[in-house]
A and B are shown apart, each in its own frame.
Chain A
């Protein structure tokens, strides 16, 4: 049985400092955990719609680091990195997140808590992102908008070139 889950991610702002992202997957949590933590698998989805993944480095142990780099249309690099704080495979992952595109990035470290809950072969993923101040949280949300805008401008340009 396949029940489509496409386009069902929900983003809410539970507090002034948080972003909460929820999404159900039609797969057991052991597989969702793999897709979320294995570099070769992460590379296949993290950059979706936003350009090629250049690298996904994951040292999955407490105190280990991660770094994802993608190249967005237009050639700019967008990179995130962080440190793993808590690892309870395949249920819970806590890590820090630094968006390297912000000025003074390390001063704007977020804490990301991902939990996976399986029911009847389906898995609910809950990702809670907490930042030190509201300005940082809003900048993280806006970063997606800038990339999206850049992408729209690029596709507009490619259309314009064809005219």
Chain B
């Protein structure tokens, strides 16, 4: 049950645009909190709030570098989200692969 709850929370966490933008920036590498303030044009308290949500679902981890806190991406909890969409994509692939067969038949009839 704990695992399902984590998954749901990660889904909720990335449902918010600003948090997705933060994750996009972290996908490029570690960043101090000030980077998000500068790059996203957000106030520090808002950035801190979003980072806290992301840390709670373990999408983001933090370490101290001197006096700075540096954040990094931990993509693991996103895996179920990716699989969720991949399953839907697979279904359409099965459909359209079958449609290829239908189209091959139609083409063959046209050339008859």
Contact = CB atoms under 8 A, between A and B. Distances in A.
Interface of A: 5-11, 13, 16, 19, 21, 23, 25-27, 31-32, 34-36, 41, 44-46, 48-50, 125, 134, 141-142, 144-145, 147-148
B97 A6 contact: yes
B99 A45 contact: yes
Nearest to B86: A11
A114 B92 CA distance: 14
A9 B89 contact: yes
Given A13-B85, A31-B107, A34-B106, A50 B98 contact: no
A30 B98 CA distance: 17
A48 B99 CA distance: 9
A95 B89 CA distance: 21
5 contacts: A11-B85, A31-B106, A35-B99, A41-B102, A41-B106
A153 to B, nearest CB: 14
B85 A31 contact: no
A21 B94 CA distance: 13
Contact of B106 (A27, A49, A50): A27
B103 A11 contact: no
Contacts, number: 85
Interface of B: 15, 84-85, 87-104, 106-107, 110
Nearest to A34: B106
Contacts of B89: 9-11
Nearest to A13: B85
B95 A141 contact: no
B85 A25 contact: no
A142 B94 CA distance: 16
Contact of B103 (A8, A16, A31): A31
Nearest to A10: B89
Contacts of B110: 31
A49 B88 CA distance: 12
Nearest to B87: A145
> Which are the 9 A-B pairs with shortest beta-carbon distances?
A49-B94, A45-B98, A48-B98, A27-B103, A11-B89, A45-B99, A48-B94, A144-B91, A144-B88
A21 B96 CA distance: 11
B100 A5 contact: yes
